[in-house]
Every structure is written in C-alpha cells, then in structure tokens.
Amino acid sequence: MIDFIWNLTSFVVALGILVTVHEYGHFWVARKNGVKVERFSVGFGKAIYKRTAKDGTEYVLAMIPLGGYVKMLDERVDDVLPEDKDKTFNSKSVYQRIAIVAAGPMANFIFALFALYLMFLIGVPSVRPVIGHVEVNSIASKAGLPNNTEIVSIGGNKTRDWQEVNLSLIGEIGNEKIEVKTKDGDNLYIATSVLDTRDWNFSPDKVSALTSLGITPFRPNVHNELSAVAEDSPAALAGLKVGDKLVAVKGKPLDTWLDFAKEIKLYPLQEVLITINRDGNVMSLPITPSSIEQSGKTVGYIGVAPKADAWPESQLIELSYGPLDALMESAERTWNLTSLTFSMIGKLITGDVSVKNLSGPIGIAQGAGSSAGHGFVYFLGFLALISINLGIINLLPLPVLDGGHLLYYLIELFTGKEVPEKIQESGFKFGALALLTLMAIGLFNDFSRVLG
C-alpha cells in the first residue's frame, strides 16, 4: 500500500508538472499573438481550485490529473462580441495558429532540456559500465565480449554508465548487428565486438536488455551476513541482529545472498524458519515476512541488508559539469532521447518492436515512484524522458492531438483553403479512436505485468 501511494503521488506530481508546462506553451504563444484565453486548466472534471485573473482568464486545478487544456476564444464554438473578434483563435493567420499549436510540444522539449541541465549541473552519482560476467553460449559470449572490461560505446553512442548502455541497447532493437566497444581497466586497449542479434529475444517487460544478451554487470561481493536490520521490521521482531550469518531457509542451505532473497520473496505473510550462525552458535528463528509489491508481484520482505564489499573507487563516477558543459550535455541527451523515441515509434509501426512493450499510466506511475525514490536528480531525468515522450506523442498526425491540428493547418497553408469541417470532424473521430486504442493496449499491458 505504501508503494502504491508513493507511486501514485510521484505520478500525479510528474504529470501535473508536465501538463502545466505543455499547456503553458500554448497559453504563452496564444497571448503573444493576441488571442484571448478564457481558461487554463490542469486536469479535467470538477474544479478543486479556480481563480479568475484581472484579464478574465480563469485558472483551474481540476480533480482528474490526466491532462489539461487551454480554452481560447473561438467564433466556431463561442458567441463572440464584435469588439472581441480580433482576439479569437480562428481570426489569426495560419502561421500564428501553427505557432500556437506547436508551442505545447515545443515547451515539453525545452523543459526536458532544462531538467537535464539541472541534473548534470547538480551531478548524477553513478558507476562505470564494467562487465562482471558473460553467460556461456549467450549472444555476448558468441561475439567474444570480454569479462572485466568497460563498455565505452554501443552502436557509436558513448556509454559512461549503465543507463546510457541500456538506452543505447534499446535503440538497437530490430537491428541484426550491434557494435560494442570495450576497454580494459588500464585504458590501454579498446576491443570491438559485433553482436549477432538476428535471434535476439528481448521482452522489456520480462527481462533487461543486458540479461537477454547474457551480460551481467560487475557488482561488489555480497556476503550472507547482515549489515542492517530495520527497526520494527519482521526481521527485528523475529530477533535477527546485525552480524548474523545466514545458513538456511526452511532447511534449504544458502550459498549466496541472492539465494536467501529469492527464498524470502516466496513466502509473503507465511511463517518460515531461518537458520543462522551467531558468534559460532547455530540457531533457528521463526519469521513471518511482510508483503510488498515488486515489479507487479506480491513478494515477501523482512527488512534486512547484507554486508557487501565496497565499490572500487576507480569505478565510481559522477556525471557533473559546469554551466556551459552541462548545457552541452543536456542538449546532447535531449537529442539522443528524442531520436530514440522517434526510432521506437518507427519500429512499432514496422513491427520490429511489439505493442506488448507499450506502457500505460500504471507503468509510468511505477517509473515515477522508482525514480523519485532514488533521489531528486533521478526524478529530473525521468521528467525529461516523459516530457520528450509527451511532446513527440502530441506531434503525431492524429487529428485529436496537436500534430493533427498542425496537419490541417499545413494543408491550409499549401492549398490556401481550410480543411472542410466534415473532414475535420471525421478525422477527430478517427484520432480519438486510435488514441483510445493505444491507451487500452497500454493499460492491458500494465495489468498483464501486474497480474502476470
């Protein structure tokens, strides 16, 4: 329940920020072009808060936080006083209307640039993408990808941390080959490996890109010894203490910490017997794990952390830059994310990426909660990614979206005539149906992941 509330709150905050940015783009450019804005609403439905400014614009915060809108004076839908006719949206030139409609998506791209700029200015703690292990007979091993080396580029894109590695790999979906460059720890040698991905079975909802290729990132050794026991947790209530060494769960011997974690997850709200070694004395303690939601599944949780070796200093990095370099980095990341999103849309259309990979509001909420839980800089990165996606989706040529309106205005620009109202209405109906279909697919995928 706590995870649900956290994810929901993070989702509402993220969506509220991005919707406000998007609609403010329309609002600001409309006002600059002399259009009277009657209402600026964040959310739909019943108003939670509203205020009317001196210029007559009503600012509204509505109950359903799944979008927003800017209502402009328009003779096609409003009764307009003679003195206000020059303040209507429809009275403006086609160039002005294009600018007003395009301003929403453009505001999302500008916001993404700003969020990433702040992220790089503050600094993102991370680790170098060093390969810990390559699985035998995997795609990576067949390409000769070496262990204990750092991935420096994928498909020509530089990779400074694991996030950049994952983004680059996702961008390679559908390609028959992936070029991966690695270097050894002393920066003395750079090797190039070409992964044959014609038989690459990658399902993002089930496994990571790295795992599907047979790559395991380096991690410091983790020991079957407790380094922390949360206060009032099931572990604390059962009598577990820092320093206890884990021996078995329900009589099943444990070789690694991962074995222990997997076993505990199997028994939410069920009593299990844990065997430990405490200062040379072997004893068994009954414990009832609580239940939490993890990756859409209910798993057991007892509130302990293992003792682990420290990360090698040489592998710890912080992506932090000065004001000018941070701007350059944010511009490059914005461009890369935009290109990646367009590429994925294209691959969805061609079938290289399955519609099963689409996420709906539940998946986005989980992403918001996860990023916010890791810290402010990671939440900034999430906001930038979703803002870019929101901007691109709104530019799609579906009549119900900004891109659809732009399509009509471009036709008007070249023909000198407005698109007939009946054609526009038919287009809006088609666009609404297509959008609802995509949303339904996203929701279906979300529920499949949660229930599966």
Active site residue ranges = 23
Q: Which residues share a beta bridge with 37? A: 72
Q: What is the DSSP letter of 280?
A: T
Measure the CA–CA gap between 213 and 141, rounded to whole angstroms. 9
> Degrees (nearest 5) of the Cα angle 277, 279, 283?
35
Nearest residue to 386 via CA among 406, 360, 404, 407: 360
Both tokens assigned to 238: 């059962």
- What is the 3-class SS of 281-292, one letter each residue? EEEEEEECCEEE
Measure the CA–CA gap between 252 and 249, rounded to whole angstroms. 5
Both tokens assigned to 79: 């009764």
What is the identity of the amino acid at 251? Answer: G
Q: Which residues share a beta bridge with 245? A: 225, 277
Q: Are 161 and 151 a contacting pair, CB within 8 Å?
A: no
Nearest residue to 362 via CA among 291, 290, 440, 420: 440
Nearest residue to 382 via CA among 351, 359, 352, 402: 359
Q: Are 6 and 14 a contacting pair, CB within 8 Å?
A: no
Backbone angles phi, psi at 70, to 5 degrees: -120, 120
Please name the residues in contact with 410: beta carbons below 8 A apart, sequence gap of 6 or more: 98
Measure the CA–CA gap between 361 and 6, rounded to whole angstroms. 14
Maximum Cα–Cα distance across the chain: 92
Q: Are 59 and 50 a contacting pair, CB within 8 Å?
A: yes
Measure the CA–CA gap between 86 and 81, rounded to whole angstroms. 10
**Count of residues making up the chain:** 452
